[in-house]
Structure 1
């Protein structure tokens, strides 16, 4: 409890991190209670009411199919947060295992794993994701897989570096002398002690994942119509920038605000969890 109390006090000192935390909390609440908050069905069309500007009836206007933009943004938060969390979880799960094995065993095992990571790093993230989706097909599940794959190298390198330094500590030698297996040493004793940089990177990577998923949907490689995904909404809204700018403005703001909030909170986490950053 004392550790969490100290952590919370460190976060409280960082105003930007607190703002970022409140933004994330707001989006989570909206996503969880979307069916209760959304004023209309996000898929319900009304062609007689299409391309209406923001009004008291439709706070953010309607799209080219007469669907309420606010309702679609609210339901879109579920999709975007789910894609971000699942893809980061995939990248973290595989990356942590590869990083632990590479850092712990070293030598040839480390060389093979790191060359594989170098191959993944050789491709820009969005291009690697595009290549994977081109092979698997445009679909939201495939977007999660693609974004998760290009997140693997980041987690693997961080975990490998932390493992290399942690495995040299005396308590690891003592546990090994007592007969603990390599699996137990890696996952029970080393992993819990290197979670801080993983948590920080996971938060920052979540922003990248949401932004990348939206970009893929914008290019038509992610969520398909009529799904109320923010990137897909932004893509369809670009065709009406002159006569209905609200179609692109509100989805763009939704993406920008959550990415900004995650980055601010991630920076605050880094300051609170990394002793070298504490003043």
Structure 2
């Protein structure tokens, strides 16, 4: 009577041990990647600054003061003021909230739809696969910024519509990645065994396939956030995104371009902020990819 009980318990312990070893190996690889750690620190720093913006911003980011317009960095205004006398540091801090929110929400929304389409396409195949992949091919044929511009032009200029536009372009990218991973996992023998035991498609997909394809999704999501931030900033720069006086990095670049010859700080600091955040997400995403790759010894 004791042996049947010990066997499943032993299998359970062994499975937990394997899972623990896998995660331990992942964190060790990630910790050894100095570039990934640097990227994570940059991203975490901007997230903290954005979260604490109402507490640490020295001035109201929307309140103009024409008597102090176009001031260079000083003790009173560390990063100077813009053409309406607003404190650039305060606008950068509050702008980080908009840029990070757009990047993260658009990526989550696009990934959610793309994952569903990719799993359905890879698992069921046949005409469903052909239809979804042809739609994805058509969307991928357009440059991301042009597709986003077209969508925002139809929906109107606002932060919400920017999120929808950027998410829309993310869908085919995630769908193709998930489809390829699903096709690989679906061919494994244990999936056939589970199906033979009478498991439903829903259980097979979300209980056994999805957990095994999470790694490439996480990596792609991390990398896409950087792309989403650039696209959102570009739309705002063109006047199609977040509208003034709401502080946003792309809008700040657009407002400062007329004064770049004698007040370069108006565009310098928002540009540096965008550069650092994008580099941070890219470095962290590359580190995740290396750490999650079982063939990588980095």
TM superposition score normalised by structure 1: 0.98
**Where does structure 1 lack aligned partners over 5 or more consecutive residues?**
none
Offset from partner CA, 1:116-173 (integer Å, 9 cap, x none) = 1111111111100000001000111000000000011110010000000100112211
Deviates more, 1:172-181 or 1:87-96: 172-181
Q: Is the 8 A contact 1:270 1:277 kept in 2?
A: no
1:184: how far off? 1.5
1:271: how far off? 0.3
Partners of 1:278 and 1:119 lie apart in 2 by 38
**What does residue 91 of structure 2 align with?**
72
TM superposition score normalised by structure 2: 0.92
**What does residue 50 of structure 1 align with?**
69
**Where does structure 2 lack aligned partners over 5 or more consecutive residues?**
1-19
C-alpha root-mean-square deviation of aligned residues, in Å? 0.9
Partners of 1:243 and 1:132 lie apart in 2 by 36
Query: Does 1:126 find its partner at 2:145?
Result: yes
Offset from partner CA, 1:75-102 (integer Å, 9 cap, x none) = 1110000000110011100100010000
Partners of 1:25 and 1:181 lie apart in 2 by 41
**What does residue 43 of structure 2 align with?**
24
State the SS of the aligned residue for 2:178: helix
1:242: how far off? 1.3
Pairing of 1:4-23 with structure 2 (within 5 A): 4-23=23-42
State the SS of the aligned residue for 1:277: coil
The alignment of Structure 1 onto Structure 2 pairs a total of residues equal to 279
**What does residue 282 of structure 2 align with?**
263
Pairing of 1:33-112 with structure 2 (within 5 A): 33-112=52-131
Query: Does 1:165 find its partner at 2:223?
Result: no
Partners of 2:190 and 2:150 lie apart in 1 by 44
State the SS of the aligned residue for 1:66: coil
Offset from partner CA, 1:53-109 (integer Å, 9 cap, x none) = 000110000001110000000011100000001100111001000100000011111
State the SS of the aligned residue for 1:43: coil
1:8: how far off? 1.6
State the SS of the aligned residue for 2:267: helix
